Amino acid sequence: MPPALQNPLTLWLLLTAALAGLAYAFVRQDLRWRAIVYGSVLIACGVAVWPPYEREGEPGKIHLGLDLRGGIHLVLQVVVEDALNQTTDDAVTTARDQAGRKGIQIGPVARLSPTAFTVDGVEPARVKDMRDLLRDFFRNGWEVKESGEGKFTVEMTELYQRQLRSQTVQEAIRTLERRVNVLGVAEPVIAAQGARGDQILVQLPGVTDVEQAKRIIKTTAQLSLKLVETSAASQETLLAATGGKVPDNQEVLSGPGSTPGEPVHYLVRKEALITGRDLKSARVGVDENNRPQINFALNATATDKFSRETARNINRQLAIVLDGTVYSAPVIQSKLGSDNRITGRFSTQEADELSKILKAGALPASLKYLQQLTVGASLGRDSIRDGVRASAAAMAFITIFMLVYYRLSGLNAIVALAANLLIVLAAMAYFGATLTLPGIAGIILTVGVGVDTNVLVFERIREELRHGKTVRAAVQNGFDRVWITILDTHATALIAAAFLFQFGTGPIKGFAVTLVIGLIANVFASYFVSKFLFEWVLGGRHYEKLSI
C-alpha cells in the first residue's frame, strides 16, 4: 500500500469521495445524502477494523482476550492494613522523638490498632506542652484525644484512612506496572477492582511461566538497612541482656547464618537508615568468590545520610533486610558512600529477579492472591476454532432461512446483518475492547436480535400488503409502525446488558461489550440501512409485487 494510504483518515476520505461519485451516478437525488452518510460510516468501520487479525507482522486491530490467546489472569488483594500499620508506626516514632527533643518525660508510646496509638505517663507538669506538641504534629489526618491523667490517644480520621487506602492501592498498581514491564508483556491490564476497591486485577496475555510471573508480582521487595544492637544464635540469648523483652524502638529479625539450617537472630533498631525508596539503581554483580550479588546505588540525599550515620557507627553491624529477612549483616568498617551491595546465597536467577524487582520499587503493602486463571496458548486456539465454527454455523442457518423465507428481501436482511457485524468489530477495535469466547457468543446473539428487527419489519410489510396497500406505502408503513417497537425492545435489552457489564472484568465483560455495541449497531443497520436499501431498490418506479 502506498504510504499516503496508510493513514486511516486519508484512506477513509478517499474511499468516501469515491463513494460520493458512485452515489452521484447511481442513486437518485432524494436518497443521495443518505447513501453517502451511511456508506461513509461503514467505510470508516472497515478502515478501523483492518487488518482484524495479525498478518505479515502487523498486529491485528481486534484484541483477543486471555481465554483466546492464553495467559494469566490474577486477582490480588492489597493488605491495606500493612500500610496503615506502617503509617501509625512512623507516627509513634515521631511522637516519641519530638517529646524527647522538647525534654518532656513520657512513659510508653504504643500502637493500639492499625489506625491509633497511645502516649502514656506524661509528667504532670508538662501535660499541656505534650498536648500542644501532639496537636501540632498531628494536625492533619489525626485526632488527638485526652483519655485520662497524662494519657493521650491519637487516632487517624476516617478521611485520612480512606486516602491512605486508595493511595496504597494506587501505589501498588504503579509498582506492579513497573514490574510487569520487566516481564516484557504486551498489552497487560492492571487495574483496581472489587467493591472496596482494594483488589487489583492483573492480566498478562501470552505469559506462560506462571511461577515466574507470580514471584515477580508478589515479592514485596521492602528493602531496609538497619543498625544491629546484638546478634545471637537463639532468641533467648539475644534478649538476655534486655531482660527477655524487646525494647520499644527495636525488633527481632532473623536470617540464614553461615551454616545452613542454623539461623542467626538479630536485635535491630526499628528505624531504618535506608529503605527501598532511597535506591537509585540496582543490578546483578558477582562477589569475590564469583557468587552472584546485588549491587545497588543510593540517591544523593540518602547517600549523605548514609555516610553520616555509617561514620558514627563504625565497627557496628548493619543488617540488610529484604522482606523481613536479614540477608547479611556486615560490620561497618569505614564511612560508606553511594554504591553498596547485598550478598547472600542467591542463585543467578534469584539475584537477577530481585535486582529487577528492587529497581521497580517496593510494594507499599503485601498482596494476597484471591483468584488465578491460566490458559494455555493451544487451548486458547481451540477456543478460537470452536468460536469461529459456531459463528459460521449460526450465520449459515440464518442466511439460508432468510433467503428461503423472504426471498430477495432476505438478501436485504443479510446485507444489514453484515453491516451490523462490521460495526461491532470496528467499535471493538476503536475502543480497544477485547474479544473473548463469550464475546463471540454475544456477537452471535446480536445477529439473532438483528434478524428479529428485520423480521418485525418484513412481517409488517406483508401485513400491509395483505390489507391492499401499494408496495411503496407498505414499505413506508412497515418501517414507520415498527420504529416504536424497536426502540422499546432495544432499550430493555440495553438495560439487561448494562447490568451484565457491571459483572466485573474478564470474559463476561467482553460479552456485555459486544452485546451493547451490537444493539446500537443493529438500530443503524437493520433499520436505517435496511430502509435505505428498500427505497433505493424500489426506486421511483411503480411495483405491483414485492419479493418478500
Partner 1 sequence: MEIIKNPQIDFLGKAKYFVALSALLIGAGIFWIASGHLRYGVEFSGGTQIIAQFKDTPDVDKIRDAVARVSPGSVIQTYGDAKANKVLVRISQEASESDLDAPERAVRQALADSYGKNPVLESSSEIVGPVVGAELRQKAVLLTVLGLLFQLIYIAWRFKGGIWGTGATIAAFHDVLVCLAFLAFFNFEITLNVIAALLTLVGYSVNDTIVIFDRVRENLLHRRKEPMAKLLNDSLNQTLTRTLISNGTTFLAVLGLFLFGGEVLRGFGFAMVVGIVVGTYSTLFIAVPMVDWWYSRGGGSGKVVRAA
Cα–Cα dist 199/371, whole Å: 11
Bridge partners (DSSP) of residue 203 are: 73, 189
Asked if 195 interacts with partner 1 (CB under 8 A), we say yes
Q: Which of 152, 296, 511, 532 binds partner 1 (CB under 8 A)?
A: 511
Q: Say which residue the cell 468489530 belongs to.
A: 425
Using the rule CB under 8 A, give the single segment among 128-136, 305-313, 344-352, 506-514 that binds partner 1.
Answer: 506-514
CB of 147 to partner 1, least distance (A): 36
Nearest Cα to Cα of residue 475 among 547, 403, 411, 422 = 547
CB of 488 to partner 1, least distance (A): 5
Helix (H, G, I), strand (E, B) or coil at 264: strand
Asked if 249 interacts with partner 1 (CB under 8 A), we say no
Asked if 247 interacts with partner 1 (CB under 8 A), we say no
Q: According to CB under 8 A, which residues from 417 to 476 bind partner 1? A: 437-438, 441, 444-445, 447-449, 451-452, 455-456, 459, 462-463
Q: Which of 150, 194, 206, 285 binds partner 1 (CB under 8 A)?
A: 194
CB of 86 to partner 1, least distance (A): 21
Asked if 193 interacts with partner 1 (CB under 8 A), we say no
Does 51 sit behind a cis peptide bond, omega within 30 degrees of 0 on the bond before it? yes
CB of 526 to partner 1, least distance (A): 12
Q: What is the 3-state secondary structure (H, E, C) of 97-113?
A: HHHHHCCCCCCCEEEEE
CB of 325 to partner 1, least distance (A): 18
Asked if 492 interacts with partner 1 (CB under 8 A), we say yes
Q: What is the 3-state secondary structure (H, E, C) of 331-349?
A: ECCCCCCCEEEECCCCCHH
Q: Which of 67, 82, 155, 198 binds partner 1 (CB under 8 A)?
A: 67
Cell of 338: 553511594
- Using CA atoms, how far residue 284 sits from 57, 290, 396, in Å, is 34, 12, 59
Residue type, 438: P
If the CB atoms of residues 56 and 211 are measured against partner 1, the closer one turns out to be 211
If the CB atoms of residues 31 and 500 are measured against partner 1, the closer one turns out to be 500
Asked if 156 interacts with partner 1 (CB under 8 A), we say no
- Using CA atoms, how far residue 477 sits from 454, 460, 467, 480, in Å, is 14, 8, 12, 5
Cα–Cα dist 98/203, whole Å: 46
Q: According to CB under 8 A, which residues from 350 to 409 bind partner 1? A: 368-379, 382-383, 385-387, 389-394, 396-398, 401-402, 404-405, 407
x/- binding map, residues 314-353, to partner 1, per CB under 8 A? ----------------------------------------
Cell of 399: 442466511
If the CB atoms of residues 268 and 435 are measured against partner 1, the closer one turns out to be 435
If the CB atoms of residues 211 and 288 are measured against partner 1, the closer one turns out to be 211
Q: Which of 24, 26, 53, 499 binds partner 1 (CB under 8 A)?
A: 499
If the CB atoms of residues 244 and 324 are measured against partner 1, the closer one turns out to be 324
If the CB atoms of residues 83 and 519 are measured against partner 1, the closer one turns out to be 519
CB of 218 to partner 1, least distance (A): 10
Nearest Cα to Cα of residue 216 among 325, 347, 360, 82 = 360
Using the rule CB under 8 A, give the single segment among 140-148, 312-320, 426-434, 495-503 that binds partner 1.
Answer: 495-503
Cα–Cα dist 197/169, whole Å: 8
Count the neighbouring beta carbons within 10 Å of the beta carbon of residue 432: 10
Query: Dihedral sign, CA of 92, 97, 98, 104?
Result: positive
Answer whether 138's CB lies under 8 Å from 144's CB.
Answer: yes
CB of 371 to partner 1, least distance (A): 5
x/- binding map, residues 75-104, to partner 1, per CB under 8 A? x-x---------------------------
Cα–Cα dist 417/399, whole Å: 10
Asked if 504 interacts with partner 1 (CB under 8 A), we say yes
Q: Tell me the angle at which helices 8-26 and 29-49 cross, rounded to the nearest 10 degrees.
A: 150
